[in-house]
Amino acid sequence: MTQETDELTRAFPNVWCPNCGKVQPMKIAVMKANDRNDHDAADILCGECKFVVATLHAEPATQFA
């Protein structure tokens, strides 16, 4: 987890979960780039029910090559 993400989750540790219908502790699951994904991605999950509230996508690595 990057320092920026760390600071962000410290400042905003919770997320609105539409599945639970209330604010819940946030979990972030980072998925590294692989054969199917050309860029890193991160799921923002509800800490209670694991509902994926949002998926964050990095810029494709090839853009910087």
Query: For Zn ion, how many residues bind (rule: CB under 5 A)?
Result: 7
> Using alpha carbons only, how large is the chain's radius of gyration in Å?
13
Binding to Zn ion (CB under 5 A): which residues in 18-37?
Answer: 19-20
**Which residue of 48, 55, 57, 60 would you call a contact of Zn ion, by CB under 5 A?**
48
45 binds Zn ion (CB under 5 A): no
Q: Which of 34, 37, 38 has the alpha carbon at shortest distance from 60?
A: 38
Among all chains, which residue has been given the structure tokens 């990057």?
2
Residue 43 CB, nearest distance to Zn ion (Å)? 13
CA–CA separation, 9 and 49 (whole Å)? 18
Tell me which residues touch Zn ion (CB under 5 A): 17, 19-20, 46, 48-49, 51
